[in-house]
Amino acid sequence: MKKLGMLTIASFLAAGAAQAAGELNIYNWGNYTSPELIKKFEETYDVKVTITDYDSNTTALTKIEAGGHGFDIVVPTHSYMQIFVEKGLLMEPGIPEMENFKHVSENWKNVEWDPGRRYSVPWQWGTTGVAVNKSIYNGDINTSAIWLDPPAELVGKVNVVPEMQDVVNLALMYVGGEPCTTDKAKLKEARDVLMAAKPKWMSMDYGMTEKLSSGDVPASVNWNGSTFRARNNNPDVAYGYPKEGYPVWMDSAAILADAQNVENAKLFLNFIMAPENAAMISAFARYANGIDGSEAFMPEDMKTAPEIVVPVELVAAGQFSPACSDEAQAFYTAIWTELQK
C-alpha cells in the first residue's frame, strides 16, 4: 500500500468523511435519541439516518433475532449485551482503536458484560425507580411499595414500564432477594407480589415522559432521565429511589452482525464518543453518558438534579445487576409471561 505522503491523519480522516455518503439505520429505545445529534452527524458525513424505536430489550432482541430487520445499530442494556453476543448478533468493529475511544471513562472501558469494549460504546447510564406526582401523593416515594403495594391515593393510577429485567429485579429486591437469583423461594415471592399488585395498576406502557408531564399518569415505575424531563415540564413530578433496592444500568451502542451500512455505523460509534456529541445525547434524554469531558458541554441543571444526584443514604441501595444465567433468565421469562396475561 502506498504511503499517504504529505497528507496528515486529520486530512485523511476528513477526506474519508466526505466520502461517507449513504444511510444508517438505528434501532433504539423510544424518545432516547437527540435530534440535534442526528442532524449534526448527517451534516458532517452526508449520511441519512433513520431511527426506529423499541420499548424493551426483549422487543429489540426478538426483532433482531428474527432477521430481515434492516438495522445497523442497536442499543441494548448491559444485562442483555452478553445475550446479543452469545447469539452472534453483534460484530467486533475495532472500538478500542477508534480515535475517540480515549474519551471513554476508565469506569466504563473494561466492563464485565463487554470486556475490553469489543462490541459496544457507552450511550447512557442511569437508574430505575419510581416517578410520582406529589400533588396526588405526598408520602414517602423512596420505596417500591408505590407500585407493589400502592397507597390508597394511587390505587388504579400506577403505570409499570414493560421492561422485564427492571421490573422483576425491583420486585426481587423488594422481597429481599438478589437480581438474577435462581432461589426458587425468592422468585416465587417476587412473582406473588407482582401478581397481587397488578390489579392495582392502570397500565404497563412505555413512554412516560409526556404522560407524567401532563398528569395523565400519577405514578410509574420509570427511569431517572425520563422523570427528569417530566419534572422540567411539571414541577409536581418527583423521582424516588426505592430503599429496598433499585437497578443501576448502562445502555451501549453496538453494530449488528448483519448490518448493511457498516462503515457509517463505525463512524457513528466514534462520533458519539466525542465529548461534545455525548453531551448532546445527555442534554436530550437527561442521563449520564460515561464519556470524560462531556460534562463541560451539558446543561447546568444536570449537575444538581435529584434524578441524577442520588441521596447519600440511598446510594448503597442501587445495584448494577449482572447478566442473568440461562436458568435465571428462564425464571424471569416465566414470571413475565404470566404477568402479561
Residue 4 has pLDDT above 90, yes or no: no
Please state the rounded mean pLDDT for residues 122-151. 98
Residue 339 has pLDDT above 50, yes or no: yes
Q: Return d(Cα 169, Cα 199) in angstroms, integer.
A: 20
19 — pLDDT class (breaks 50, 70, 90): very low
Q: What is the pLDDT of residue 113?
A: 94
Please state the rounded mean pLDDT for residues 275-291. 98
Exposure letters 38-47 (e unless 16+ CB within 10 A, then b)? beebeeebeb
Helix (H), strand (E) at residue 49: strand 47-54
Residue 13 has pLDDT above 50, yes or no: no
Which grid coordinates belong to 205?
Answer: 406502557
| Domains of the chain from N-terminus onward | 9-125+250-302 (3.40.190.10), 126-248+309-339 (3.40.190.10)
Single out the residue of 281, 291, 293 nearest to residue 41, CA to CA.
281
Q: Return d(Cα 131, Cα 302) in angstroms, integer.
A: 18
Q: For helices 57-66 and 164-174, give the axis angle rounded to 10 degrees.
A: 140
pLDDT in tens, 304-318: 999 999 999 999 999
106 — pLDDT class (breaks 50, 70, 90): very high
Q: Return d(Cα 256, Cα 267) in angstroms, integer.
A: 14
**Residues 127 and 100: beta-carbon distance below 8 Å:** no
Q: Is 125 helix (H, G, I), strand (E, B) or coil?
A: strand
CA dihedral 202, 204, 167, 88 (to 10 degrees): 180
Work out the number of other CB atoms within 10 angstroms of the CB of residue 282. Answer: 24
- Longest CA pairwise span in the chain (Å): 75
- Torsions phi, psi of 13, nearest 5? -65, -40
Q: Return d(Cα 67, Cα 193) in angstroms, integer.
A: 36
User: What stretches of 179-236 show up as alpha helix (H) in DSSP?
Assistant: 184-197, 209-214, 224-233
Q: What is the pLDDT of residue 72?
A: 98
Q: Return d(Cα 174, Cα 168) in angstroms, integer.
A: 10
Q: What is the CA radius of gyration of the chain?
A: 21
Please state the rounded mean pLDDT for residues 22-37. 98
Which grid coordinates belong to 43?
Answer: 451534516
Beta strands in 68-189 (DSSP E): 73-74, 120-133, 158-160
Predicted TM-score (pTM) above 0.75: yes
Q: Return d(Cα 3, Cα 284) in angstroms, integer.
A: 42
